[in-house]
Amino acid sequence: MCHYRRILTWIVPLRLLLKGSWPSPVLLERYPAIDGLYGPFVRAITQGDVVAFDEALQALEGRLVQLNVWIIVLRMREIALRGVFRKVYVYRPFCPFLPHLIQVLTQRWKALGSGTRVTIQAFHAGLKLAGQEMDTDEAECLVANSIYKGFMKGYISHEAQTVVLAKTDPFPRLADRILPVGLQ
């Protein structure tokens, strides 16, 4: 039984990171130590809650370092950021109608973009709502890294401060994403 738990300690975060496959509830119920270790991260990623992910990372940092999986779990944070970016893409047409979003924005929502075009300010506002305090350049850098690492398909028009996403499947499944050469 102990050997299975040791193997799962490595397999669960690797499958999460590379394939996007979540551990089944049956597995987590059978091995409560694995659920206690990775359950908060799985819940944070599925909800796109970066703050909850960071809190779980801080709370479990010592245990993750001891098990030599801290760096793998840290890289899973990009999947939680991808969830925030997906929410921005999906909910951007409704943003002008939410008063609490308007207070967060530094500019008006008149340049939201249409179809596959999303402004950097929209991603910046989404990150602010997710609890990430940063300026627009840092938000643009996070979006650029997500595109580079295959979490999003598209490109950034720096002059127009717009992200142009692919028409089909702008957020590919984690198992289907194409990794850059340095990350394979």
Sheet holding 162-165, edge to edge: 117-119, 162-165, 154-157
Determine how many CB atoms are found less than 10 A away from the CB of residue 32: 11
Within 8 A by CB and 6+ apart from 157, the residues are 163, 164
pLDDT of residue 183: 55
Determine how many CB atoms are found less than 10 A away from the CB of residue 64: 22
- Long-range contact pairs involving 84-87 (C-beta distance under 8 Å, separation at least 24): 84/48, 84/50, 84/126, 84/127, 84/130, 85/123, 85/126, 85/143, 85/146, 85/151, 85/152, 85/171, 86/48, 86/171, 87/48, 87/126
Dump pLDDT digits (tens) for 49-103.
888 999 999 999 999 999 999 998 998 898 888 888 888 888 765 554 444 454 4
Dump pLDDT digits (tens) for 10-29.
888 888 888 878 888 888 88
> Mean pLDDT across the stretch 38-59?
89
Dump pLDDT digits (tens) for 109-158.
334 445 778 888 888 888 888 888 888 889 999 999 999 988 899 999 88
Residue 119 one-letter amino acid: T
Domains (range + CATH), the chain: 2-75 (no CATH), 81-183 (1.10.10.10)
Residue 105, pLDDT > 70, answer: no
- What's the predicted TM-score (pTM) here? 0.76
pLDDT of residue 179: 67
